[in-house]
Amino acid sequence: LPPFLHRNRNNLDERIIDQICRNVITDMDQYGVCVVDTFLGAEKGMAVLNEVLNMYSAGLFKDGQLVSNKAGASDLKTIRGDQITWLDGKEKQCQNIGMLISQVDAIIMRANKMYNNGRIGNYTINGRTKAMVACYPGYGSHYVKHVDNPNRDGRCITAIYYLNKDWDIKKNGGLLRIFPEGWRDQVADIEPLFDRILFFWSDRRNPHEVQPAYKTRYAITLWYFDAEERNQACRRYQREREMHNQPKNS
Ligand SMILES: Cc1cc(NC(=O)CCC(=O)O)nc(C)c1Br
Ligand SMILES: [Fe+3]
Protein backbone atom coordinates (compact mmCIF):
# COMPACT_ATOMS: atom_id res chain seq x y z
CA LEU A 1 0.00 0.00 0.00
CA PRO A 2 1.29 3.54 -0.75
CA PRO A 3 2.77 5.12 2.42
CA PHE A 4 -0.10 7.56 2.98
CA LEU A 5 -2.56 4.70 3.43
CA HIS A 6 -3.00 3.38 6.98
CA ARG A 7 -2.90 -0.39 7.21
CA ASN A 8 -6.51 -1.49 7.41
CA ARG A 9 -6.30 -1.88 11.21
CA ASN A 10 -9.93 -2.66 11.47
CA ASN A 11 -11.25 -6.00 10.35
CA LEU A 12 -14.55 -4.75 8.95
CA ASP A 13 -15.72 -7.90 7.22
CA GLU A 14 -14.01 -8.19 3.83
CA ARG A 15 -17.30 -9.16 2.23
CA ILE A 16 -18.93 -5.95 3.46
CA ILE A 17 -16.06 -3.88 2.10
CA ASP A 18 -16.38 -5.72 -1.22
CA GLN A 19 -20.12 -5.04 -1.37
CA ILE A 20 -19.69 -1.37 -0.52
CA CYS A 21 -17.02 -1.09 -3.23
CA ARG A 22 -19.36 -2.49 -5.85
CA ASN A 23 -22.03 0.03 -4.83
CA VAL A 24 -19.53 2.87 -4.94
CA ILE A 25 -18.25 1.87 -8.38
CA THR A 26 -21.67 1.41 -9.98
CA ASP A 27 -23.20 4.54 -8.42
CA MET A 28 -20.18 6.73 -9.19
CA ASP A 29 -20.24 5.40 -12.74
CA GLN A 30 -23.95 5.98 -13.19
CA TYR A 31 -24.64 9.10 -11.11
CA GLY A 32 -21.27 10.52 -10.00
CA VAL A 33 -22.76 10.41 -6.49
CA CYS A 34 -22.97 7.50 -4.00
CA VAL A 35 -24.54 7.28 -0.54
CA VAL A 36 -23.76 4.41 1.87
CA ASP A 37 -25.69 4.20 5.13
CA THR A 38 -24.65 2.49 8.41
CA PHE A 39 -21.06 2.72 7.19
CA LEU A 40 -19.31 1.88 10.50
CA GLY A 41 -22.27 0.66 12.56
CA ALA A 42 -23.77 2.54 15.54
CA GLU A 43 -21.09 1.68 18.12
CA LYS A 44 -18.08 2.75 16.03
CA GLY A 45 -20.05 5.72 14.65
CA MET A 46 -20.73 6.89 18.23
CA ALA A 47 -17.04 6.49 19.12
CA VAL A 48 -16.13 8.80 16.20
CA LEU A 49 -18.87 11.28 17.16
CA ASN A 50 -17.64 11.40 20.77
CA GLU A 51 -14.10 12.22 19.67
CA VAL A 52 -15.43 15.05 17.50
CA LEU A 53 -17.62 16.38 20.34
CA ASN A 54 -14.62 16.30 22.71
CA MET A 55 -12.53 18.26 20.20
CA TYR A 56 -15.32 20.77 19.67
CA SER A 57 -15.80 21.36 23.41
CA ALA A 58 -12.00 21.69 23.73
CA GLY A 59 -12.32 24.63 21.31
CA LEU A 60 -10.11 23.06 18.63
CA PHE A 61 -12.32 24.20 15.75
CA LYS A 62 -11.23 27.35 13.95
CA ASP A 63 -13.85 29.71 12.67
CA GLY A 64 -14.62 28.77 9.09
CA GLN A 65 -15.56 31.11 6.27
CA LEU A 66 -17.25 34.38 7.22
CA VAL A 67 -20.65 34.83 5.62
CA SER A 68 -22.19 38.27 6.00
CA ASN A 69 -25.82 37.83 6.95
CA LYS A 70 -28.74 38.87 4.75
CA ALA A 71 -28.72 42.44 6.20
CA GLY A 72 -25.61 43.03 4.09
CA ALA A 73 -22.82 45.56 4.79
CA SER A 74 -24.90 47.83 7.00
CA ASP A 75 -25.13 45.27 9.76
CA LEU A 76 -21.53 44.19 10.52
CA LYS A 77 -22.66 41.18 12.53
CA THR A 78 -21.82 38.15 10.43
CA ILE A 79 -22.96 34.61 11.00
CA ARG A 80 -20.15 32.13 10.85
CA GLY A 81 -20.37 29.36 8.28
CA ASP A 82 -18.71 26.09 9.07
CA GLN A 83 -16.00 25.83 11.74
CA ILE A 84 -13.24 23.43 10.77
CA THR A 85 -10.17 21.58 11.97
CA TRP A 86 -7.77 19.32 10.02
CA LEU A 87 -6.60 15.92 11.31
CA ASP A 88 -4.38 13.15 10.00
CA GLY A 89 -6.11 10.70 12.33
CA LYS A 90 -2.94 9.69 14.21
CA GLU A 91 -3.42 12.38 16.90
CA LYS A 92 -4.05 10.96 20.38
CA GLN A 93 -7.78 11.05 21.35
CA CYS A 94 -8.53 10.48 17.65
CA GLN A 95 -8.11 6.70 17.33
CA ASN A 96 -11.68 6.23 16.16
CA ILE A 97 -11.44 9.06 13.63
CA GLY A 98 -8.23 7.33 12.47
CA MET A 99 -10.16 4.06 12.13
CA LEU A 100 -12.86 5.82 10.06
CA ILE A 101 -10.15 7.25 7.76
CA SER A 102 -8.65 3.75 7.34
CA GLN A 103 -12.05 2.37 6.38
CA VAL A 104 -12.64 5.05 3.75
CA ASP A 105 -9.08 4.52 2.43
CA ALA A 106 -9.79 0.76 2.22
CA ILE A 107 -12.97 1.34 0.21
CA ILE A 108 -11.38 3.85 -2.17
CA MET A 109 -8.22 1.82 -2.76
CA ARG A 110 -10.16 -1.39 -3.25
CA ALA A 111 -12.57 0.33 -5.64
CA ASN A 112 -9.49 1.74 -7.41
CA LYS A 113 -8.22 -1.85 -7.87
CA MET A 114 -11.57 -3.52 -8.68
CA TYR A 115 -12.39 -1.03 -11.41
CA ASN A 116 -10.78 -1.68 -14.80
CA ASN A 117 -7.32 -2.55 -13.51
CA GLY A 118 -6.55 0.06 -10.92
CA ARG A 119 -8.50 3.05 -12.14
CA ILE A 120 -11.89 4.23 -10.79
CA GLY A 121 -13.80 6.44 -13.22
CA ASN A 122 -10.59 6.88 -15.28
CA TYR A 123 -8.67 8.10 -12.23
CA THR A 124 -5.68 6.50 -10.53
CA ILE A 125 -5.92 7.48 -6.89
CA ASN A 126 -2.61 7.75 -5.09
CA GLY A 127 -3.19 10.12 -2.19
CA ARG A 128 -5.62 12.28 -0.25
CA THR A 129 -5.89 15.38 1.89
CA LYS A 130 -5.99 15.21 5.68
CA ALA A 131 -9.45 14.83 7.18
CA MET A 132 -11.39 18.07 7.50
CA VAL A 133 -13.75 17.96 10.50
CA ALA A 134 -16.46 20.59 9.98
CA CYS A 135 -19.14 21.88 12.34
CA TYR A 136 -22.02 24.11 11.31
CA PRO A 137 -22.90 25.79 14.63
CA GLY A 138 -26.62 26.01 13.82
CA TYR A 139 -28.59 29.32 13.92
CA GLY A 140 -28.77 29.46 10.13
CA SER A 141 -25.14 28.79 9.23
CA HIS A 142 -24.85 27.41 5.70
CA TYR A 143 -22.41 26.93 2.82
CA VAL A 144 -22.99 28.70 -0.49
CA LYS A 145 -23.27 26.75 -3.75
CA HIS A 146 -19.80 25.86 -5.00
CA VAL A 147 -17.63 23.28 -6.77
CA ASP A 148 -14.95 21.62 -4.62
CA ASN A 149 -12.36 21.38 -7.42
CA PRO A 150 -13.22 23.86 -10.22
CA ASN A 151 -9.67 24.26 -11.58
CA ARG A 152 -8.05 20.82 -11.72
CA ASP A 153 -6.18 20.96 -8.40
CA GLY A 154 -5.93 17.14 -8.39
CA ARG A 155 -8.87 16.26 -6.15
CA CYS A 156 -11.18 13.76 -7.89
CA ILE A 157 -13.40 12.21 -5.17
CA THR A 158 -15.00 13.97 -2.18
CA ALA A 159 -15.93 11.64 0.70
CA ILE A 160 -18.09 13.08 3.49
CA TYR A 161 -18.97 11.13 6.66
CA TYR A 162 -21.91 12.54 8.65
CA LEU A 163 -22.27 12.31 12.44
CA ASN A 164 -25.68 13.78 13.26
CA LYS A 165 -27.86 11.64 15.53
CA ASP A 166 -31.67 11.99 15.32
CA TRP A 167 -31.43 14.62 12.60
CA ASP A 168 -34.85 15.99 11.57
CA ILE A 169 -34.32 17.74 8.20
CA LYS A 170 -37.60 19.70 8.52
CA LYS A 171 -36.67 21.21 11.88
CA ASN A 172 -32.88 21.14 11.69
CA GLY A 173 -32.27 22.02 7.99
CA GLY A 174 -28.65 21.49 6.92
CA LEU A 175 -29.59 19.58 3.75
CA LEU A 176 -26.73 19.01 1.30
CA ARG A 177 -28.13 19.71 -2.18
CA ILE A 178 -26.03 18.55 -5.15
CA PHE A 179 -26.86 19.82 -8.66
CA PRO A 180 -25.26 17.05 -10.75
CA GLU A 181 -24.30 18.20 -14.23
CA GLY A 182 -26.45 16.59 -16.89
CA TRP A 183 -29.29 15.84 -14.51
CA ARG A 184 -31.22 18.75 -16.08
CA ASP A 185 -33.38 20.21 -13.30
CA GLN A 186 -33.00 17.21 -11.00
CA VAL A 187 -31.06 17.57 -7.74
CA ALA A 188 -29.63 15.11 -5.20
CA ASP A 189 -30.83 15.99 -1.68
CA ILE A 190 -28.64 14.34 0.95
CA GLU A 191 -29.63 14.48 4.63
CA PRO A 192 -26.55 14.64 6.90
CA LEU A 193 -27.57 11.51 8.83
CA PHE A 194 -25.49 9.72 11.48
CA ASP A 195 -23.09 7.05 10.14
CA ARG A 196 -23.85 7.96 6.50
CA ILE A 197 -21.00 8.36 4.03
CA LEU A 198 -21.32 10.22 0.72
CA PHE A 199 -18.97 10.07 -2.27
CA PHE A 200 -19.08 12.37 -5.29
CA TRP A 201 -16.77 13.55 -8.09
CA SER A 202 -15.12 16.74 -6.74
CA ASP A 203 -15.03 18.63 -10.05
CA ARG A 204 -17.58 20.79 -11.90
CA ARG A 205 -19.89 17.81 -12.33
CA ASN A 206 -21.15 18.32 -8.78
CA PRO A 207 -21.89 21.88 -7.66
CA HIS A 208 -23.39 21.66 -4.15
CA GLU A 209 -24.62 23.78 -1.23
CA VAL A 210 -25.43 23.28 2.44
CA GLN A 211 -28.78 24.81 3.29
CA PRO A 212 -29.06 26.75 6.58
CA ALA A 213 -28.69 24.48 9.63
CA TYR A 214 -30.58 25.18 12.85
CA LYS A 215 -28.84 22.57 14.98
CA THR A 216 -25.12 21.85 15.34
CA ARG A 217 -24.14 19.81 12.26
CA TYR A 218 -20.93 17.74 12.09
CA ALA A 219 -19.20 16.14 9.09
CA ILE A 220 -15.75 14.72 8.29
CA THR A 221 -14.51 15.24 4.72
CA LEU A 222 -11.63 13.54 2.82
CA TRP A 223 -10.59 14.51 -0.71
CA TYR A 224 -8.79 11.86 -2.81
CA PHE A 225 -6.18 12.81 -5.43
CA ASP A 226 -5.85 11.55 -8.99
CA ALA A 227 -2.12 10.95 -9.55
CA GLU A 228 -1.90 12.57 -12.99
CA GLU A 229 -4.07 15.63 -12.29
CA ARG A 230 -2.28 16.20 -8.97
CA ASN A 231 1.18 16.02 -10.57
CA GLN A 232 0.17 18.52 -13.23
CA ALA A 233 -1.34 20.84 -10.60
CA CYS A 234 1.86 20.70 -8.52
CA ARG A 235 4.03 21.36 -11.58
CA ARG A 236 1.81 24.31 -12.57
CA TYR A 237 1.99 25.67 -9.02
CA GLN A 238 5.78 25.27 -8.97
CA ARG A 239 6.15 27.13 -12.30
CA GLU A 240 3.95 29.98 -11.08
CA ARG A 241 5.99 30.26 -7.89
CA GLU A 242 9.23 30.39 -9.89
CA MET A 243 7.81 33.03 -12.25
CA HIS A 244 6.61 35.24 -9.44
CA ASN A 245 9.76 34.77 -7.41
CA GLN A 246 11.85 35.50 -10.53
CA PRO A 247 14.58 37.96 -9.31
CA LYS A 248 14.03 41.47 -10.79
CA ASN A 249 17.28 41.68 -12.76
CA SER A 250 16.88 38.34 -14.55
C1 LIG B 1 -14.11 24.26 3.61
C2 LIG B 1 -14.98 23.59 2.57
C3 LIG B 1 -16.13 22.92 2.96
C4 LIG B 1 -16.91 22.32 1.99
N5 LIG B 1 -18.00 21.70 2.44
C6 LIG B 1 -19.13 21.38 1.79
O7 LIG B 1 -19.27 21.49 0.60
C8 LIG B 1 -20.24 20.89 2.70
C9 LIG B 1 -20.60 19.47 2.49
C10 LIG B 1 -21.47 19.01 3.66
O11 LIG B 1 -21.10 19.28 4.82
O12 LIG B 1 -22.52 18.44 3.40
N13 LIG B 1 -16.63 22.34 0.67
C14 LIG B 1 -15.49 23.01 0.30
C15 LIG B 1 -15.16 23.06 -1.14
C16 LIG B 1 -14.66 23.64 1.24
BR17 LIG B 1 -13.12 24.56 0.67
FE1 LIG C 1 -17.89 21.34 -0.89
Q: What is the pLDDT of residues 6-30, one digit of tens each?
A: 444 445 577 888 899 999 999 999 9
pLDDT at position 108 is 95
pLDDT at position 6 is 47
Distance 3 CA to ligand 1 centre (A): 26
pLDDT at position 195 is 98
Distance 53 CA to ligand 2 centre (A): 22
Ligand 1 nearest-atom number relative to CA 136 = 11
Q: Whose CA is nearest to atom 11 of ligand 1?
A: 219
Of 108-112, 160-164, 217-221, 224-228, give the lowest mean pLDDT range: 108-112
pLDDT per position as a tens digit, 133-186: 999 988 888 898 999 999 999 999 999 999 999 999 999 999 999 999 988 889
Average pLDDT over residues 110-125: 82
ipTM at complex level: 0.96
Ligand 1 nearest-atom number relative to CA 149 = 15
160 lines ligand 1 (CB under 6 A): yes
Distance 59 CA to ligand 1 centre (A): 20
What pTM was computed for the model? Answer: 0.88
Distance 212 CA to ligand 2 centre (A): 14
More confident residue, 205 or 250: 205
Q: Distance between the two ends of the chain, CA-based, in angstroms?
A: 44
135 lines ligand 1 (CB under 6 A): no
Distance 178 CA to ligand 2 centre (A): 10
pLDDT at position 17 is 87
The whole-angstrom distance between residue 244's C-alpha and the CA centroid of its chain comes to 32
Name, of 5-9, 203-207, 242-246, the range with top average pLDDT. 203-207
208 lines ligand 1 (CB under 6 A): yes
Instruction: Tell me which ligand sits closest to the C-alpha of residue 219.
Output: 1
pLDDT at position 118 is 67
Distance 208 CA to ligand 2 centre (A): 6
pLDDT per position as a tens digit, 60-108: 887 766 555 444 444 444 555 789 999 999 998 899 999 999 999 999 9
pLDDT class for 235, splitting at 50, 70, 90?
very high
163 lines ligand 1 (CB under 6 A): no
Ligand 1 nearest-atom number relative to CA 190 = 12
217 lines ligand 1 (CB under 6 A): no
